[in-house]
Amino acid sequence: MSIEKFLLRSEDEMDFLPIIPLNESEQEDLNGIEVPAEIALLPLRNTVLFPGVVLPITVGRDKSIKAVNDAYKGDKLIGVIAQKDSNIEDPAITDLEQVGTVARIVKMIKMPDGGTTIIIQGKNRFLVESIFTEDPYFKAKIKKLEEQENPKDEDFNAYVANIKDLAADIVQLSPNIPAEASIILRNIENPSFLIHFVSSNLNTDIKDKQRLLELNQIRQRADLLMQLLQKELQFAELKNKVTTKTRTEIDKQQREYFLQQQMKSIKEELGGDSNVQELKEMQKKAEAKKWPVAAKELFKKGIEKLERMHPSTPDYSVAYNHLDLMLELPWETYTEDHYELKKAMKTLDSDHYGMHKIKERIVEYLAVLKLKGDMKSPILCFVGPPGIGKTSLGRSIANAIGRKYVRLSLGGLHDESEIRGHRKTYIGAMPGRILQSIRKVKSSNPVMILDEIDKVGNDFRGDPSSALLEVLDPEQNHTFYDNYLESEYDLSKVLFIATANNVQNIQPALRDRLEIIDLSGYAVEEKIEIAKRHLLPKQKDLHGLKSSNFKISDKVLEKLIQDYTRESGVRELDRQLASIMRYQAKQLAFKGKLKAVLTAEDIEKIIGKPKYSNDIYKTANMAGVAVGLAWTYVGGDILFIETSLSDGKGELKLTGNLGNVMKESASTALTYLQSNAKKYNIDSKLFEKKNIHIHVPEGAVPKDGPSAGVTMMTAIASALTGKRVKPFLAMTGEITLRGQVLPVGGIKEKVLAAKRAGLKEIILCSQNQKDVEEIETEFIKGIKFHFVKTMNQVLELALI
């Protein structure tokens, strides 16, 4: 509802105040006025005139002024009609509504600025049959719409009473509406005029008002008006609730401020403040602190600023927390390294089996430190499949050289402020996680593990890997700048060790700063040793079986590794051993004793039937099927490549979720065999009459890369010649159209995967021989390697 003071506004704004006529009884005989068949139209914006309601209007348009003048000279009747779109300055015929109100011009006043103000009273509704002229103003043929008599039943009386109550409630809740408005509403006795008056004052959309005007039955008009009033009342109640809540919060803030000021005055009268003692303690700590000159100056300025501030001010806690961080950071505090190389090597060997490359690199670093006394720490990055002990190796290195250990998980990190810190002016600002970690271990030369550096996020929120460039550059990190600290901090003595599963996911500029050390998966023999030395004692201890003397032989462990796990690391093996320990704990609790030795049959009884079997390579021995070797970020794996021929037009079909490089390898293999068909006794007509379908099982797993080239070529040749591929044979290598075999990567992982799967022969490129020689001979015992240069050699070895 918007009942305001009497304001004269232009018809452009159309924000009117309807007025009650002096004689309300005029509403009774509205149907009795003579409505002409043709009438001048006055378009209005943002309002609808209802019968019986009086409106003051300032007329501004030239057309409208002429129409009003002509009507005032004549019978003083004019057709008032609403525009469909209030934004249109010069409306056309199509922009006008069809139903309007015939109005009598009660008074016309000429204004000094040339405008005209009129006071009009709605008389009768009409329907526009046609508008026959637009110049000099709209004139239309109209049809009078008769008003229905007011119903006399009790239901309608209830409608009217309800409308009065709702309108009165809205007036009471709206502070801009004078209280006298509710008295006026109570004194309106004519139901029809009450509905029209409330409709005019309703603060609702112009389309809703037009709908009210167009309804012929007074009962329907009353029903719609009640719905609109209910909506308006709900809005007014919500607005009032929000206003009250806001006022309450402001009052609370003013009260707290007043009390703070009083407290400040009381403390001043008592002669001092409680923060004086705190500041003295901070200064005392600062005097005993070893730190650079720049940091000392920054602290001095900060403490002077803090002395001038009152503890109740918001900036006090910001400045205090900043100085507190400066005091807690170990600026020039270092732990002493242990230079006993043999002892360090012994510690590394006792904690982890194998990993000779890393152990040698750490001992070399210690040797240089021992001779030179000081050097910039290297930035190492351990890359390998999950579960091989990259992260735990960092703790072992810290123990070996006598340094503090801290781990920083970077997986999913997306905000560079996590590395460099937030500016301290922000609410909830903190230093970056690098300085937080150093603050926690209280040493400026810890071993810091940057875990999962290949999984750092990069999106619209920031790029933390770019922030890491400064941290991991030995030429820059001695002046590392943290936004919160607002000072440089020396990270050059920190031994950073990053871990990653896939080096390709690390940003190139960041990768360039890292000393990459590749860690491949474990061979079966290594896993047996790891299980005996580390996993079994750990699981016995965790399950309360430390004092139990039962044993698991190497043969049983080998069966457990080969039949129940397929992984490069030892996490799944650890879980299987945990299952065995739980069973043993249950047996001990029930029976009070355990078997002295666990056999292979016991393992099957505890864990179930074997999950993996090497029999698959025996049954797969049919023409068109070859076994390839693949590298994944979790280690090596074997894959089948199946080829089938069918009648058709020589089309090549590839399935199994293959990438573009792998598809191109298949096309290259097929083209090579087509061009050398006679050489391999292949009927050239087969390429025209037969469709070739190549499928790589496990279709849900994406596969890509060039290393399956030789395997695809062998599978196609096998299908076309009808010759089978030699059983227990695997191969890997890239191919060319000239018939050459090129080297590929991930050889150790692939060879170990073949060994785990029970394969006996492997075909590799001759240039990969150096990679095989790096693998310890006991890990690949029983595998025969064939090193080839051409695809002709591959087919001679593979097809039988």
Give the residue numbers annotated as catalytic, written as ranges. 707, 750
CA distance 378 to 452: 18
Residue 172, classified by CB atoms within 10 Å of its CB into exposed (0-12), middle (13-18) or buried (19+), is middle
Tokens of 689: 């009459």
Q: Which position has the token pair 């507190």?
A: 324
Cα–Cα distance for residue pair 36/68, rounded to 1 Å: 16
Residue positions counted in the chain: 800
Residue 774: which H helix or E strand, with range?
none
Q: Which helix (H) or strand (E) holds 99?
A: strand 99-110
State how beta strands 379-383 and 405-409 pair: unpaired
Helix (H, G, I), strand (E, B) or coil at 201: helix
C-alpha closest to that of 523 among 783, 782, 776: 776
Is the separation of the CB atoms in 344 and 338 below 8 Å? yes
H or E segment at 406?
strand 405-409
Detail the DSSP E strand segments found in 453-575: 480-482, 487-489, 495-500, 515-518, 551-552
Residue with tokens 């502070």: 175
Closest by CA to 568, choosing from 489, 629, 634, is: 634
Segment holding 728, helix H or strand E: none
- CA 312 and chain centroid, separation: 38
Q: How far apart are CA 200 and CA 174, in angstroms?
A: 17
Tell me how far apart the alpha carbons of residues 190 and 196 are, in angstroms, rounded to a whole number.
10
What are the φ/ψ torsions at residue 41 (nearest 5 degrees)? Answer: -105, 140
Going 43 to 47 to 50 to 52, the CA torsion angle's sign is: negative
CA separation for the pair 137, 121 (Å, rounded): 21
**192/222 Cα distance (integer angstroms):** 9
Place of tokens 């009273």: 121
In eight-state DSSP terms, residue 238 is H
Cβ-Cβ contacts under 8 Å for 454 (sequence gap 6 or more): 500, 501, 502, 503, 505, 506
Q: 438 to each of 12, 326, 403, 431, 486, how far by Cα in Å?
A: 70, 12, 12, 11, 16
Q: Is the peptide bond before 702 cis (omega within 30 degrees of 0)?
A: no
Which residues are within 8 A (CB) of 178 and not within 5 positions of it... i.e. 6 or more apart?
3, 5
**Contact between residue 741 and residue 718 where contact means Cβ atoms under 8 Å apart:** no
Annotate 34-72 with DSSP letters as a single string: ---SEEEEEEESS----TT-EEEEEE-SHHHHHHHHHHH
Query: From edge to edge, which strands make up the β-sheet containing 495-500?
Result: 405-409, 447-451, 495-500, 379-383, 515-518
DSSP helix/strand/coil, 373: coil
Q: Cα Rg for the chain, rounded, in angstroms?
A: 45
- Residue 495 in contact with residue 446, Cβ under 8 Å? yes
Report the C-alpha dihedral over residues 439, 440, 442, 444, rounded to 10 degrees. -60
